[in-house]
């Protein structure tokens, strides 16, 4: 196992998209660990207040990275030697750290879960205390921070071409799943040689739904361990925490999101416990939770969570 450090820079960042034609910023072997630095936000949301630390590379990324379509600033891609379509990439999240002492939140008209209720853009810069791990809201309340990456994904099917990072799909991307914190693993299908993993869209904290489109958006550093599972045949993202199995559904309809996530949980319970479809469906009704991951990314998200103890017994 080797450890690598991928810093954010104009040479290692791409702005707004996933694309199977991107050249790797780093190539690793299965089993390697990588510390990845990310930045967040366009020039119009960068604060001028000298109290706030701005990563020194951010202005250069703004100046030199093409912003061809709307989306996030992502670091990568990372190629994994030997990865080919049909494989599965396991991304174990080992650590996440804040890179700056502020984050931002934006309300934009005609977006979010209430697109016609707010008619003016509102930008907040929110101080983050990295020692106490709290963010202080303008009205004085301190919110505990729970950082995670809103965007983690591999390259899409090559025939899709360049796609926006805003819409989550089968290759992952803008999942906005707040369960993906240190200790969790994300499992992604591989669609192109090398897999080509990228991440960004750092969140200091977010509620399920992310209803106004933004969380506390910030710059993060993450340490990941990458493992390649040959010929696993996974076709859609899944995740696992120390206590839960997670399946996901993405679609313009939240109803359809729930259908996708639930159907995959039934398959997962068959794989993990050997349950029949009927028994798995019953167990989901008794012990699984359907949660709104996000309601704002064009394709919305539902994740289905079930405790491992409900699958394997209390000793699991």
Tens of pLDDT, residue by residue over 176-196, are: 999 999 999 999 999 999 999
Q: State yes or no: pLDDT of 147 exceeds 70.
A: yes
What value does the mean pLDDT take over residues 82-86?
A: 98
- How far is 316 from 307, CA to CA, in rounded Å? 10
Q: pLDDT by residue (tens digit) across 117-143?
A: 999 999 999 999 999 999 999 999 999
What value does the mean pLDDT take over residues 244-251?
A: 98
For 68, the token pair is: 């061809």
Q: State yes or no: pLDDT of 239 exceeds 70.
A: yes
Q: State yes or no: pLDDT of 39 exceeds 90.
A: yes
What value does the mean pLDDT take over residues 234-239?
A: 97
pLDDT at residue 21, rounded to an integer: 97
Return the higher-pLDDT residue of 39 and 316: 39
What value does the mean pLDDT take over residues 262-279?
A: 98
**Under a CB-based contact definition with an 8 Å cutoff, are residues 149 and 220 in contact?**
yes
pLDDT at residue 158, rounded to an integer: 97
pTM for this entry: 0.96
In the chain, % of residues over pLDDT 70: 99
Q: State yes or no: pLDDT of 78 exceeds 90.
A: yes
Q: pLDDT by residue (tens digit) across 212-233?
A: 999 999 999 999 999 999 999 9
Residue with tokens 């939240």: 254
What value does the mean pLDDT take over residues 150-157?
A: 98
pLDDT at residue 316, rounded to an integer: 57
Side-chain-facing half-sphere of 57: CA atoms under 13 Å: 17
Q: pLDDT by residue (tens digit) across 8-27?
A: 999 999 999 999 999 999 99
Q: pLDDT by residue (tens digit) across 293-314?
A: 999 999 999 999 999 999 999 8
- If DSSP states are collapsed to H, E and C, what string results for the chain? CCEEEECCCCCCEEECEECCCCCCCEEECCCCEEEEECCCCCHHHCCCCCCCCCCCCHHHHHHHCCECCCCCEEEEEEEECCCCCCCEEEEEEEEEEECCCEEEEEECCCCCCCCCCCCCCEEEEEEEECCCCEEECCCCCEEECCCEEEEEECCCCHHHCCEECCCCECCEEECCCCCCCCCCEEEEECCCCCCCEEEEEEECCCCCECCCCCCCEECEEEEEEEEEECCCCCCCCEEECCCEEEEEEEECCHHHHHHHHHHHHHHHHHHHHCCCHHHHHHHHHHHEEEEEEECCCCCEEEEEEEEHHHHHCCCC
- The per-residue pLDDT of the chain, averaged, comes to 97
What value does the mean pLDDT take over residues 72-93?
A: 98
């Amino acid at each position: 196992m080797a450890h690598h450090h991928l810093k954010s820079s104009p040479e290692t960042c791409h702005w707004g998209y996933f694309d199977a034609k991107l050249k790797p910023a780093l190539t690793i072997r299965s089993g390697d660990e990588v510390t990845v630095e990310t930045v967040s936000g366009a020039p119009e949301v960068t604060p001028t207040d000298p109290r706030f630390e701005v990563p020194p590379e951010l202005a250069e990324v703004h100046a030199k990275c093409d912003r061809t379509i709307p989306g996030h600033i992502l670091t990568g891609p990372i190629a994994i030697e030997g990865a080919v379509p049909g494989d599965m990439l396991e991304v174990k999240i080992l650590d996440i750290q804040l890179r700056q002492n502020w984050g931002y939140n934006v309300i934009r008209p005609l977006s979010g879960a209430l697109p016609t209720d707010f008619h003016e853009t509102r930008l907040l810069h929110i101080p983050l205390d990295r020692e106490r791990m709290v963010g202080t809201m303008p009205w004085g309340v301190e919110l505990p921070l729970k950082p995670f990456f809103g965007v983690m994904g591999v390259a899409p099917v090559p025939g899709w071409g360049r796609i926006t990072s805003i819409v989550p799909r089968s290759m992952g991307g803008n999942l906005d799943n707040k369960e993906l914190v240190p200790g969790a693993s994300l499992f992604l299908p591989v669609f192109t040689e090398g897999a080509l993993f990228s991440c960004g869209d750092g969140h200091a904290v977010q509620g399920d739904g992310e209803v106004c489109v933004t969380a506390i958006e910030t710059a993060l550093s993450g340490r990941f361990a990458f493992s390649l599972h040959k010929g696993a045949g996974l076709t859609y993202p899944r995740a696992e925490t120390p206590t839960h199995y997670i399946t996901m559904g993405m679609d313009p309809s939240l109803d359809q999101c729930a259908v996708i996530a639930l159907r995959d949980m039934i398959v997962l319970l068959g794989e993990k416990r050997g349950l029949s479809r009927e028994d798995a469906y019953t167990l989901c009704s008794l012990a699984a939770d359907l949660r709104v991951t996000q309601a704002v990314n064009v394709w919305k998200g539902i994740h289905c969570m079930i405790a491992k103890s409900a699958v394997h017994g209390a000793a699991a």
